[in-house]
Each structure stands twice: as structure tokens, then as C-alpha cells.
Amino acid sequence: MKDRFKGVIEPFSNGIVKNNPTFRLVLGTCPTLAITTAALNGLTMGLATTFVLICSNFLISLLRNVIPDKVRIPAYVMIIAAFVTVVDMVMAKFLPDLHKTLGLYIPLIVVNCIIMARAEAFSNQNAPLPSVMDGLGTGIGFTLALTVMGIIREFLGAGSFFGIEIPYLSNYAMTIFIMPAGAFFVYGFLIVLFNAAVDAIQKKIDAKSAGQKHHVLHAESAEPEAANNEGGAE
């Protein structure tokens, strides 16, 4: 029961931190650099990708035993393209301004390597529920990364937060941050920061578990000694 629960939760948490597609795996770099000029753009792009990830992971996992191995890539592309078209049509109808701003990057979700990578590496070999959790985790990881990048670039480059102008700050905005050079600068900085933080946490966890192991081993080796001592006393 515990293993089953772990099998569902682990893919979710891995997608956000351990295998974060943007900061750890450096996948989907093109939309990350291009559309994070504003926080709202990053958030919307992330949510659109999350929807496609969840739906495509679910369907690919459901059909994993039906799709012949030889044609799995064209089949995945067709499934992903269908969901991307759904997102494109819904956004054009209900969020026309954002749809125009994101422009070509919405149809380009089809060729986003994060989606293809998750289809090929995870949902192709796992049951629907863990695949959905993997899609959700990876999607949230991607959305968080794009939103954080968008917030930083918009704040420094335009002096606003989610489109709301911050008084005084907008007069001192550093335009370079909303230009392509600024995108690379912020991206590099966040990769360093994220990886340093994750590695530090991982080291702490490893040290803790190693300490526990050592304690258990020590206790195990101490037991026969104590028994010998007791025997000696007798």
C-alpha cells in the first residue's frame, strides 16, 4: 500500500524539484527564454503546457499496449498535437489578447521536448494514474519556473508585477531584463540558484540517512559485544 502511494506521489514531486524540466533538465528552453517578458505570459504558457502534459500522458499511458512500437512517435505527435490545438482554440476564443501575445509559441508546444520526453520516458511504461501525476508535477515545475522568470524580468525590466505598475520603480526599470540578453542572464542565475539549493538539501538528506544507517550498524555491532560481555561476566 505504502509502495503504491509512493509510486503515485514520487513522480509528482520529482517533476517539481528533482527533475524540474527548466532548471534541472534544461528542457523547453525556447519558450522559457522567449515568452517570459511578463509574469502573466509565463504563467499562461506554463498552464497551457501543463494541460497538454496531463492529457497526453494519460492517453499515451492508456494506449501504451495498443500502439505498435514502430509507430509510437507519430502516434504521440498526433495525440499531443490534438491537445495543443484544443488549447489554441480555447485560448483564441476566451483569452484573445494573451493568445495574440503568446502567438506562435502555443502551436509550438507540439514540439516541446518536455512533453515528448515524458511520453517516451514515463507514460509509455507506466499506468495512467502515475502518468497523470508525472504530467501534473512536470507541468507545475515548468509553470513555476516560467512564472518566477517572468516575475523577475517584468519587475526589473518594466517595473511592474503581473501588469500592475509599481509607482516610482517603473521610472528606473532596466530594459535589458525584458530583452533577449536579460532572459539568458536571469535564466543562468536561476539555474545556479536552484541547483545549489537542491544539491544542498540533497546533501543534508543524504547525511541524515547515512547517520541513521551508521547508528543502526553501530547498534547492531554493539549488541553481540554486549552479549559477549554478559557471557564473560557469567
**In the complex, which residues of this chain contact other proteins (CB under 8 A)?**
37-38, 63, 66-68, 70-71, 74-75, 78-79, 81-82, 85-86, 89-90, 92-94, 96-97, 100-101, 103-104, 154, 157-160, 163, 170, 173, 175, 178-179
Closest CB to other proteins among residues 26, 90: 90
Q: How far is the CB of 12 from other proteins (least distance, A)?
A: 26
Grid cell digits, residue 157? 525590466
DSSP string, the chain: -HHHHHHHHHHHHIIIIIT-TTTTS--SHHHHHHSTTSHHHHHHHHHHHHHHHHHHHHHHHHTTTTS-GGGHHHHHHHHHHHHHHHHHHHHHHH-HHHHHHHGGGTGGGGG-HHHHHHIIIIITTS-HHHHHHHHHHHHHHHHHHHHHHHHHHHHHHHSEETTEEPTTGGGG--GGGGSHHHHHHHHHHHHHHHHHHHHHHHHHHHHHHHHHHHHHHHHHHHHHHHHHHHHHH-
Nearest to other proteins of 161, 194 (CB atom): 161
Amino acid in the structure at residue 112: N
Q: Longest Cα pair distance anywhere in the chain, in angstroms?
A: 88
- The least CB distance from residue 193 to other proteins, in Å, is 24
We find the least distance from the C-beta atom of residue 146 to other proteins, in angstroms, to be: 15
Q: How far is the CB of 89 from other proteins (least distance, A)?
A: 4
Nearer to other proteins among residue 27 and residue 91 (C-beta): 91
Cβ-based nearer residue to other proteins, 33 or 179: 179
Q: Minimum CB separation from other proteins for residue 17, in Å?
A: 30
Choose between 2 and 70: whose C-beta lies nearer to other proteins: 70
Is the Cβ of residue 13 or residue 160 nearer to other proteins in the bound state? 160
Who contacts 51 (Cβ-Cβ below 8 Å, separation ≥6)? 83, 87, 139
